Structure 1
Amino acid sequence: MRYLRFCLILVTFSMAFLTACNTEEEKVKDSVQDEKMLKPNELSNAFLNGDYEKVYRQTSKAFQDAVTLKQFQELGEEFNKDVTIYILQSEIPYGNGAKKYIWTDDSGSKGMVAIFDEDDIIQGLQVMPLSMYPETDNIYTETVFDFPFQDKWFVFWGGTNSLVNYHYAYENQRYAYDFVVMNEKSTYEGDPTLNESYYAFGKEYLAPADGMVVKVENSVKDNKPVGRMNKKQPLGNYVILDHGNKEFSYLVHFKYQSIVVKEGDKVKKGDLLGLVGNSGNSSEPHIHFHVADSSDPLTSKSINITFDRENKFIHGDFVE
Structure 2
Amino acid sequence: MKKPSFKMIKQGGTSVKIAAAIGTLAVILTACGGGDTAATSNSGATNSAGAANPAESVASNPPAATESAANPSEAPVTPEQLPEALLAGNYKGIYERFSAPFKEQISEADFIKMAESFMSGVKSLEKSSILNKSGAEQRTWVSDSGNKGIVGIFDTEGTILGLQVKELTPASETDSILTKNSYSLPFRGEWLVIWGGNNAMVNYHYEYESQRYAYDFVKAKDGYSYEGDPLKNESYFAFGEDIIAPADGTVVSVVNDIADNEPVGVMNEKAPAGNVVVIDHGGEYSYLAHMKKGSATVKPGDKVSKGDVIGQTGNSGNSSEAHLHFQLSDGKDLFTSLAIAVKWEGGIKPVQGETIGTAE
TM-score, shorter chain, exceeding 0.5: yes
Counterpart-to-counterpart distance in 2, 1:11 and 1:299: 28
Name the SS for the 1:59 alignment partner.
coil
Give the Å deviation of 1:115: 1.2
Aligned to 2:58: none
Counterpart-to-counterpart distance in 2, 1:309 and 1:70: 50
Counterpart-to-counterpart distance in 1, 2:100 and 2:138: 19
- After superposition, the Cα gap between the structure-2 partners of 1:12 and 1:228, relative to the gap in structure 1 and judged at 3 Å, is closer
Counterpart-to-counterpart distance in 2, 1:240 and 1:251: 7
Aligned to 2:56: none
Using the aligned pairs only, state the percent identity.
42
Give the Å deviation of 1:282: 1.2
Determine which of 106, 113, 128 is the counterpart of 1:89.
Answer: 128
Does the aligned pair in 1 maintain the 2:140–2:150 contact within 8 Å? yes
- After superposition, the Cα gap between the structure-2 partners of 1:5 and 1:214, relative to the gap in structure 1 and judged at 3 Å, is same
Counterpart-to-counterpart distance in 2, 1:7 and 1:232: 21
- After superposition, the Cα gap between the structure-2 partners of 1:75 and 1:231, relative to the gap in structure 1 and judged at 3 Å, is same
Determine which of 205, 210, 214 is the counterpart of 2:252.
Answer: 214
Aligned to 1:16: 22
Counterpart-to-counterpart distance in 2, 1:178 and 1:10: 20
Give the Å deviation of 1:311: 3.3
TM-score (norm 1): 0.90
Name the SS for the 2:80 alignment partner.
helix
In structure 2, stretches of 5+ residues that fail to align are 1-5, 26-40, 46-64, 69-74
- After superposition, the Cα gap between the structure-2 partners of 1:150 and 1:46, relative to the gap in structure 1 and judged at 3 Å, is same
Q: Which amino acid aligns with 1:147?
A: L
Deviation string 1:111-169 (CA, Å, 9 cap, x unpaired) is 00111122222111111211235122222110111110011100011111111111112
Counterpart-to-counterpart distance in 2, 1:231 and 1:10: 16
Aligned to 1:60: 99
Q: Which amino acid aligns with 2:306?
A: K
Counterpart-to-counterpart distance in 1, 2:18 and 2:289: 34
Does the aligned pair in 2 maintain the 1:234–1:281 contact within 8 Å? yes
Does the aligned pair in 1 maintain the 2:23–2:106 contact within 8 Å? no
Give the Å deviation of 1:279: 1.1
Deviation string 1:175-195 (CA, Å, 9 cap, x unpaired) is 100100010110011111111
The reply on whether 1:263 has 2:300 as its aligned counterpart is yes
Deviation string 1:220-244 (CA, Å, 9 cap, x unpaired) is 1111111111111111111101111
- After superposition, the Cα gap between the structure-2 partners of 1:236 and 1:65, relative to the gap in structure 1 and judged at 3 Å, is closer
Counterpart-to-counterpart distance in 2, 1:10 and 1:51: 29
What count of residue pairs does the alignment treat as equivalent? 309
Aligned to 2:186: 148
Counterpart-to-counterpart distance in 2, 1:125 and 1:280: 29
In structure 1, stretches of 5+ residues that fail to align are 24-31
Aligned to 1:278: 315
Does the aligned pair in 1 maintain the 2:146–2:171 contact within 8 Å? no
Aligned to 2:268: 230
- After superposition, the Cα gap between the structure-2 partners of 1:127 and 1:279, relative to the gap in structure 1 and judged at 3 Å, is same
Mapping 1:114-263, distance limit 5 Å = 114-244=152-282, 246-263=283-300
Counterpart-to-counterpart distance in 2, 1:197 and 1:12: 33
Q: Which amino acid aligns with 1:93?
A: N
Counterpart-to-counterpart distance in 1, 2:308 and 2:144: 40
Aligned to 1:27: none
The reply on whether 1:298 has 2:335 as its aligned counterpart is yes
Aligned to 1:106: 144
Name the SS for the 2:102 alignment partner.
helix
Give the Å deviation of 1:84: 1.7
Aligned to 2:9: 3
- After superposition, the Cα gap between the structure-2 partners of 1:65 and 1:192, relative to the gap in structure 1 and judged at 3 Å, is closer
Does the aligned pair in 2 maintain the 1:259–1:275 contact within 8 Å? yes
Aligned to 2:89: 50
Q: Which moved more, 1:153-162 or 1:308-317?
A: 308-317
Instruction: Compute the RMSD of aligned alpha carbons.
Output: 2.2
